[in-house]
């Protein structure tokens, strides 16, 4: 099937296309299931909506929030979402994905705490207007960018060599380093320190990030890392680093009021022996055949170590962004997938259902991959909740474009099509330009200057960052 853009004028148009493609995608009759609370341990989520961790690339060089960062979380606070999943936050300077990625340190912890306060003030306004809104749960994503580290320029820190990933990111195999076993073992204490700070300043949990080919995700596919306790064919070795980190932070900080969670890849879409969640044989066809045996086992094992919430994702945005986020337009120089975006949505739903069927029933999961569906996305997400396939519905790009999406669902019975994300990839293009990221279409006044190439220094003087 060739690629097509979103052009549905009605729900019936969408259903007709789903039927013609013979896809297993369903739309609910109402959105009531999104409005119900969810309890995990002693924490109550006021509803089933989630804002995914959306990195803004707009902190200071020391990792502290700027006015633009604070604005984003004030806007997220107006969303009405029951869970705010705060953006990727580096556990160290050398692990930053860019020189302006958020960090949490002893020196800046109070400025990061202000992001929680800003969101809660916005939530209080919602609660005064409508008592059905509650206080959201807030989780902080902790990350080591690994292969995609750019603390002061590209400095890939890899688990192993794989030239195609370097080539897609315009870096050389000779750049950076293969991380030593000693370095990897010392990361456990870095995650412990960051988790302690997150709990101290008021987060309700942390996310040990295991997606999108950042370091810990890459460790899961380290089949070619030989003679290492963190690599090889052994599932035990390839999951050792993740489990060491989760075991430490869960035993020290996990409690009924503090969650240890993960946004985790269930399928990399990269061929064996360099991909996770794929069939273990060399294939000529792309994308490779999924095999979720190991992801199911990992989620089960991490649950036994104290993880109760998993935010499911797939793909590598630096290698093939269409797998994780179906789109209408690609970034300049990118290519369009040879499939209809609805086929990408259906793949996401199908793989998520397979995970749900394989893991313990009391594990809670967040579904992903809905934003391309625009105003119909909440109906599809609700159908997945009603079928028992997911417990919550997450939005990423949609939150950039339409931060009040929750209000529209709760008060207008559906998303406003004039405010939805149009999957144009401009937010990604902004990031690839090495500047801040946000919605160029729905929030153009704020982000157009960055898109046009105005420097951070100029914008700082003008008070725009």
Q: Strand, helix or coil at 368? A: coil
pLDDT band, residue 456 (cuts 50/70/90): low
Exposed e or buried b per residue across 223-256, where buried means at least 16 C-beta atoms within 10 angstroms of its C-beta: bebeebebbbeeeebbbbbbebbbbbbbeebbee
Residue 465 lies in a domain: no
Q: Strand, helix or coil at 192? A: helix
For position 459, what pLDDT does the model report? Answer: 62
pLDDT in tens, 320-362: 999 999 999 998 888 888 899 999 999 999 999 999 999 999 9
Q: Count structural domains, the chain.
A: 1
Q: Distance between alpha carbon 407 and the CA centroid of its chain, in Å?
A: 22
Residue 437 lies in a domain: no
Number of Cβ within a 10 Å radius of residue 163: 10
For position 318, what pLDDT does the model report? Answer: 93
Cα separation, 370 vs 169, whole angstroms: 26
Environment class of residue 313 by beta-carbon count within 10 Å: exposed (0-12), middle (13-18) or buried (19+)? buried
pLDDT band, residue 434 (cuts 50/70/90): confident
pLDDT band, residue 460 (cuts 50/70/90): low
pLDDT in tens, 271-294: 999 999 999 999 988 999 999 999
Residue 446 lies in a domain: no
Residue 460 lies in a domain: no
**Residue among 130, 162, 131 nearest 146 (CA):** 162
**R_g of the chain computed on alpha carbons:** 21
pLDDT band, residue 305 (cuts 50/70/90): very high
pLDDT at 461 over 90: no
pLDDT band, residue 464 (cuts 50/70/90): low
Tokens of 387: 């079928």
Cα separation, 321 vs 369, whole angstroms: 12
pLDDT at 463 over 70: no
Q: Which residue has the tokens 């004028």?
A: 9
pLDDT at 6 over 80: yes
**CATH assignment at residue 87:** 3.20.20.70
Q: Which residues 6+ apart lie within 8 Å of 374 measured at CB?
A: 6, 415, 417, 420, 421, 422
Cα separation, 214 vs 219, whole angstroms: 9
Cα separation, 350 vs 292, whole angstroms: 11
Residue 434 lies in a domain: no
pLDDT band, residue 145 (cuts 50/70/90): very high
Mean pLDDT across the chain, nearest whole number?
95
Residue 6 lies in a domain: no
In the chain, how many H helices and how many E strands? 17, 12
Residue 308 lies in a domain: yes
pLDDT in tens, 55-64: 999 999 999 9
Residue 111 lies in a domain: yes
Determine contact, residues 266/295, Cβ cutoff 8 Å: yes
Checking DSSP bridges between strand 38-40 and strand 307-314, what pairing results, if any? unpaired
Tokens of 18: 């789903």
Q: Which residue has the tokens 């999104």?
A: 34
Determine contact, residues 448/428, Cβ cutoff 8 Å: no
Q: What is the pTM of this model?
A: 0.96
Q: Distance between alpha carbon 258 and the CA centroid of its chain, in Å?
A: 20
Q: Which residue segment(s) compose the domain that 247 sits in?
A: 11-425
Which string of DSSP letters, residue by residue, matches 307-351? EEEEEEEES-TTT-HHHHS--SSPPTT----SS-HHHHHHHHHHH
Tokens of 112: 């990061």
pLDDT at 297 over 80: yes
- Alpha-carbon dihedral of residues 292, 295, 300, 305, nearest 10 degrees? 180
Exposed e or buried b per residue across 385-403, where buried means at least 16 C-beta atoms within 10 angstroms of its C-beta: bbeebbbbbbbbbbbbbbb
Q: Which residues 6+ apart lie within 8 Å of 164 measured at CB?
A: 274, 319
Number of Cβ within a 10 Å radius of residue 279: 14
């Amino acid at each position: 099937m060739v690629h097509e853009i979103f052009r549905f004028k009605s729900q019936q148009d969408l259903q007709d296309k789903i039927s013609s493609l013979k896809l297993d995608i369903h739309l609910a009759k109402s959105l009531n299931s999104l409005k119900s609370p969810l309890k995990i341990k002693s924490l109550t989520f006021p509803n089933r909506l989630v804002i995914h961790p959306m990195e803004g690339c707009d902190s200071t060089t020391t990792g502290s929030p700027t006015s633009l960062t604070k604005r984003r979380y004030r806007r997220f606070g107006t969303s009405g979402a029951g869970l705010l999943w705060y953006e990727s936050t580096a556990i160290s300077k050398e692990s930053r994905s860019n020189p302006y990625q958020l960090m949490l340190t002893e020196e800046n912890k109070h400025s990061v705490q202000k992001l929680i306060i800003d969101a809660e003030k916005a939530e209080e306004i919602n609660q005064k207007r409508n008592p059905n809104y509650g206080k959201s749960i807030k989780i902080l994503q902790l990350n080591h960018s690994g292969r995609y580290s750019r603390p002061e320029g590209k400095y890939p820190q890899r688990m192993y060599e794989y030239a195609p990933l370097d080539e897609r990111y315009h870096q050389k195999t000779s750049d950076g380093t293969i991380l030593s076993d000693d370095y990897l073992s010392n990361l456990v204490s870095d995650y412990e320190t960051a988790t302690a700070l997150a709990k101290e300043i008021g987060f309700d949990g942390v996310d040990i990030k295991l997606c999108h080919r950042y370091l810990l995700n890459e460790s899961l596919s380290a089949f070619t890392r030989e003679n290492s306790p963190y690599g090889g064919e052994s599932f035990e070795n390839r999951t050792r680093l993740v489990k060491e980190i989760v075991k430490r932070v869960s035993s020290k900080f996990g409690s009924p009021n503090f969650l240890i969670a993960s946004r985790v890849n269930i399928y990399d879409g990269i061929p064996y022996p360099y991909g996770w969640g794929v069939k273990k044989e060399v294939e000529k066809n792309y994308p490779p055949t999924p095999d979720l045996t190991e992801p199911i086992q990992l989620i089960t094992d991490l649950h036994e170590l104290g993880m109760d919430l998993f935010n499911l994702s797939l793909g590598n945005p630096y290698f093939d962004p269409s797998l994780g986020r179906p789109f209408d337009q690609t970034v300049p120089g990118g290519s369009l997938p040879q499939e209809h975006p609805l086929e990408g949505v259906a793949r996401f739903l199908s793989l998520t259902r397979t995970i749900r069927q394989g893991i313990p029933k009391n594990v809670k999961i967040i579904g992903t991959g809905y934003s391309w569906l625009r105003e119909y996305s909440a109906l599809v997400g609700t159908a997945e909740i009603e079928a028992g396939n997911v417990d919550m519905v997450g939005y990423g790009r949609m939150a950039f474009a339409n931060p009040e999406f929750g209000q529209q669902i709760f008060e207008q019975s559906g998303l406003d099509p004039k405010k939805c994300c149009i999957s144009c990839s401009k937010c990604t293009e902004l990031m690839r330009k090495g500047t801040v990221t946000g919605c160029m279409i729905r929030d153009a006044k704020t982000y157009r200057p960055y898109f046009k190439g105005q420097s951070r220094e100029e914008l700082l003087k003008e008070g725009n960052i």
